[in-house]
Structures are given as structure tokens and as C-alpha cells.
Amino acid sequence: MGLTYEDFLDLSYEPRDSDLVCRFRIDPADDQTMESAASRVASESSNGTWAALDTGEDFTDMGATAFAIDGDEIGVAYPPGLFEPGNMPQILSCIAGNIMGMKAVDTIRLLDCEWPREVVEGFTGPGFGSSVREEIFGVEDRPITATVPKPKVGLSTKRHAEVGYEAWIGGLDLLKDDENLTDQSFNPFADRLAESFDARDRAQEETGEVKSYLINVTADTQTMLERTDMVAEAGGEYVMVDVVTTGWGAVQTVRDRCEELGLAIHAHRAMHAAFDRLPHHGVSMRVLAQISRLVGVDQLHTGTAGLGKLANEDTVGINDWLRSDLYGMRDVLPVASGGLHPGLVPKLLEATGPNICVQAGGGVHGHPEGTEAGARALRAAVEAAVLDEPLEVRAQESPELGAALEKWGTETPR
């Protein structure tokens, strides 16, 4: 039997519940129609190639079907047997692999996936998800808060831990490393771990509140595992991983170790924009968020609903997906970050609701009276916003919030 591109297009096909269904936006090359391009996408992302094949008898048909063409979007259904259970890199080598560079399309973007039970059940998913708020911090009624010391890199270990201490006693829950701080000579990982947890313990004792630290373990996989073990030994609750630069297979390995150790994972998405920024090409943030949930991160940056300094794709829709029912898999806590400051918090919570983590770097340390005051201002803004209390009213009893509002107002930074 010959296998040609035409075999991968069937507009009368109705996807089965067990199929993984992907939606792509495509721009066919000049010599292609939507139909011919769609059949090539289905073929190259499953079991086809450019040459017609004689498959013979001894063959299981793992072909995908392009079943819908709707304007510049197409739907492709993949049989679950195409995928190795629990192997995210293999799934992506199908649905976001060679097709991204195919000459039959000028551009192609993976927009969305519907994940069937059989594929979902291959993954562990998050160990905590949004229950970190209650299980780690014992708070239910407000977003948790985090800050990242600035400048991003270059602070000494001592200064980095001091900034954390100031933020914690000012009322924030989490100190977070920046995405490009790992184990450099000006601030070695092991020293930072020891000094920061020491500062954390003091801050906990002084405030009577639970405090935690998102230390960045990003590295090659073996080193990440060693650093993860070190975090558990130091009494940490979380590791932070730059999930896109690290790669999904490595994240899966870290997730397994975190399961053994009872640690949560904070996922920074640095480099996501290389995949998702151009609206006609790449992989959407929505899909990157879906992958993040399946491989089991607990917290994920999903943007500020357009309020902050960075371009955002549909923060609210992505957050809704992260919380949606997925065959009983835990949810993921969205992290809003990037140019946030206290004056933006009410608009942010109006868009996202309170079940998030509010993260601000410059919007804390750039406070006119420094980090501790900046932390007080952010905490006050969060507490007022969940009660729907206007910030100007709260500022009457929080001079730090008043100073932040005077400096930054309620505007998006540029």
C-alpha cells in the first residue's frame, strides 16, 4: 500500500476522544493550497515523509489526520499510540518538530492542544499546584508575594541574602533568584543557599510567618539534581528551574526527584518568547503552559495581563486553562511578574483573581526608602486589593504604599 500526503487529509474525520488534537495556524507556501499544506503538516508530524511509501504488511498506522481547515487554521488529530507515555520531548518532536521548518509552509504556529486522558495519565503533573499557598504558607485569602533582587546578577552572596531578609521582614512570602543567577563566582550557589536560608530562618522567627526561597537550580540535569538535593537538605520548600532553557526532559527528571523530596517547582519561562512572540510562527505560550503542567511544575510565569513591562499572550485565558479540570491533575499557580509595582496590583487582581503569586523586582527595590519599605508597600497593596479597598485609602495607614504610589502611580512602566 502506498502512503502519500493525500492519505493524511480527511475533512470528514471526527477526532476520537483518545486522539491528541492540535490546532495550528499556517501560511502555505506559494506552491501550496491549504489542503496540501495541511496534509503535509499531519504527515511530517506523525509517520509520513516527502516520498510515497510502500508500507508493507508489518506496520501499525500511526498517521495523523488533518481533519479541519478553518480560515488560516487547521485541526490535526493524532492517535495516542504515536506517543510514548510520559515522554514530553518525544511528543514535541511530533507536534512541534520538523514541521516548524517545513518549506511547504511559510509560517506555522502550534496554537492549542486538547490532551486526551491516555496522554495526560502518562505524566505525574504538579505535586502541589496552587495548594502551595495553603500547604506551604498557610494563606488562602490572598495571593502569595515574591521579589527578585535587582540588579539581576552581580550582588554578593551577603548582599543578596540581606535583600531577601529585608523583603521577608517587610511582609513578602518568597525571595526568588533571577533567571540568569545560578552559580557564578560573585555569588556561588552553595554559599547563597546557606546564607539565604539562615536569613529566612531569622525572618520567620521575627515575623511569625512562613517564608520561603526560590533558589535557581538551572544547569545540566545532573547538576540540577545535585542542587535539588542540597535544597532539600537545607530545609527548602522549592527549587526554581528555567524550564524552557533547561528543556522538558530535564524538568521531568527534576520533577521526579522533587516528588521523592517533597519539594515544589517554580518555573521561570525565560526564552519562551523565542517560541511564542511572533503570532504566526512557533509554539504559543498556551501550549508551553500546558506542557509545564503536564511535566509537573507548581508555579509558572504567565505574565501580567498586559499591565507590566513585557509582551504577554492571553494571561487570563492561560491561567484559566492552568486551573481547568484535566482528569484530576493538580492545577498550576500562575505567577504575574515583569514590571509590576504596588499601584498595578488592583488592576492585576481584577484580571486574574487572587489565586496567583504576585512577583515584583524593580517595583520593590526601586522604592524610594528601599527594599523593606518596598515590600511593605507591595504587601499592603495586595491586602487592600483583595478587600476591594482603594489603594489611596490603604495608603493612609501605610506610608510606604503612599510613597510607592507617589513614585509610580498606577501606570505601566516602559
Could you tell me which residues come within 8 angstroms of residue 220 by beta carbon, excluding any fewer than 6 positions away?
Answer: 250
Q: Which is nearer to ligand CAP, 44 or 242 (CB)?
A: 242
Strand order in the sheet with 20-28: 65-70, 73-78, 20-28, 105-114, 282-283
Q: CA-to-CA distance for 353 and 137, rounded, in angstroms?
A: 18
Please tell me whether residue 269 binds ligand CAP under the rule CB under 6 A: yes
Which residue in the block uniquely carries the three cell numbers 484535566? 326
| Minimum CB distance to ligand CAP, residue 354 (Å) | 18
| Contact flag: residue 301 with ligand CAP (CB under 6 A) | yes
Three-class SS state of 69: strand
Active site residue 211: no
Residues linked to residue 268 through DSSP beta bridges, in sequence order: 242
What distance in Å separates the CA atoms of residue 35 and residue 379, rounded to the nearest whole number?
Answer: 54
25 lines the binding site for ligand CAP (CB under 6 A):
no
Q: Check residue 152 for interaction with ligand CAP (CB under 6 A).
A: yes
**Does the active-site annotation cover 150?**
yes
Does the annotation place 359 within a ligand binding site? yes
Q: Could you say which of ligand CAP, Mg ion, none residue 380 binds, taking C-beta under 5 to 8 angstroms by partner kind?
A: none
Indicate whether 179 belongs to the interface with Mg ion (CB under 5 A).
yes
Q: Which stretch binds ligand CAP (CB under 6 A): 35-43, 111-119, 361-369, 387-395?
A: 361-369
CA distance 232 to 275: 33
Could you say whether residue 178 binds Mg ion (CB under 5 A)? yes
157-169 vs 371-386: helix axis angle to the nearest 10? Answer: 40
- Does the annotation list 247 as a binding residue? no
Catalytic residue among 160, 211, 266, 268: 268
Task: Give least dist CB 359 to Mg ion, A.
Answer: 9
Residue 211 in marked binding region? no
Q: Looking at 9, 77, 193, 360, which residue binds ligand CAP (CB under 6 A)?
A: 360
Burial tier of 317 (Cβ tally within 10 Å: 0-12, 13-18, 19+)? middle
* Binding test (CB under 6 A) with ligand CAP, winner from 3, 95, 148, 167: 148
Q: Tell me: is residue 90 an annotated ligand-binding position.
A: no
Which residues in 327-346 contact ligand CAP (CB under 6 A)? 337-340
Q: Nearest distance from residue 374's CB to ligand CAP, in Å?
A: 11
- Alpha-carbon separation of residue 130 from 101, 297, 302 (angstroms): 37, 10, 14
DSSP letter (8 states) at residue 30: T
Instruction: Encode burial over 41-71: b for 16+ CB neighbours within 10 A, e otherwise.
Output: bbbbbbbbeeeeeeeeeeeeeebbbbbbbee
Q: Does 178 bind ligand CAP (CB under 6 A)?
A: yes
CB of 225 closer than 8 Å to CB of 201 = no
Q: Which stretch binds ligand CAP (CB under 6 A): 146-154, 246-254, 279-287, 369-377?
A: 146-154
**20 vs 31: CA distance, rounded Å:** 29
The reply to whether 331 sits in an annotated binding site is no
Contact (CB, 8 A) for 134 and 330? no
Q: Which is nearer to ligand CAP, 133 or 301 (CB)?
A: 301
User: Among ligand CAP, Mg ion, none, what binds residue 339 when CB lies within 5 to 8 Å by partner kind?
Assistant: ligand CAP
Cα separation, 69 vs 9, in Å, equals: 10
What is the nearest approach in angstroms of ligand CAP to the Cβ of residue 46?
32
Output 43 or 196, the one with its CB closest to ligand CAP.
196
Residue 138, annotated ligand binder? Answer: no
Q: Which is nearer to ligand CAP, 309 or 407 (CB)?
A: 309
The residue (of 80 and 366) whose beta carbon lies closer to ligand CAP is 366
Determine contact, residues 293/332, Cβ cutoff 8 Å: yes
Binding site for Mg ion (CB under 5 A): 178-179
Binding site for ligand CAP (CB under 6 A): 148, 150, 152, 178-179, 269, 301, 303, 309-310, 337-340, 360-363
- Which of the residues are catalytic? 150, 268
